[in-house]
């Protein structure tokens, strides 16, 4: 498969994620947009690493470790969002702005 196809996929994911993160007010939808943008970066990084050295799995293992860290980070973000919603019944970013200390 050609590198350009994977980079085009990454650009499309980045564009959709950026639109989702900037246009939504729901915290969950903003987090989903950020997740899409991070996945776009991971797809591009894995494609470039595979294109530069196809016989070495070093880059793919690094991307896999980064995806694992992303999954843990997003799970913690969703847990905080659920805790805020249960405590204050706030699910939009405008209303959550008063949570700063």
Which tokens is 87 given? Answer: 């405590």
SS (H, E, C) the chain: CCHHHHHHHHHHHHHHHHHHHHHCCEHHHHHHHHHHHHHHHHHHHHHHHHHHCCCCCHHHHHHHHHHHHHHHHHHHHHHHHHHHHHHHCCCECCHHHHHCC
Class of domain 3-89: mainly alpha
pTM over 0.75, yes/no: yes
pLDDT at 100: 60
Return the domain boundaries, the chain: 3-89
Per-block mean pLDDT, blocks of 10 residues, the chain (101 long)? 91 95 85 90 89 81 85 85 79 63 54
């Amino acid at each position: 498969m050609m590198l350009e196809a994977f980079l085009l996929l990454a650009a499309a994911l980045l564009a959709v994620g950026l639109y989702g993160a900037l246009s939504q007010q729901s915290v969950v939808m903003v987090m989903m947009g950020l997740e899409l943008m991070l996945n776009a970066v991971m797809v591009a990084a894995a494609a470039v690493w595979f294109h530069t050295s196809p016989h070495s799995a070093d880059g793919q293992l690094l991307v896999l470790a980064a995806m694992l860290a992303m999954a843990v980070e997003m799970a913690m973000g969703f847990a905080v969002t659920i805790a805020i919603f249960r405590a204050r019944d706030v699910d939009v970013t405008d209303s959550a702005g008063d949570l700063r200390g």
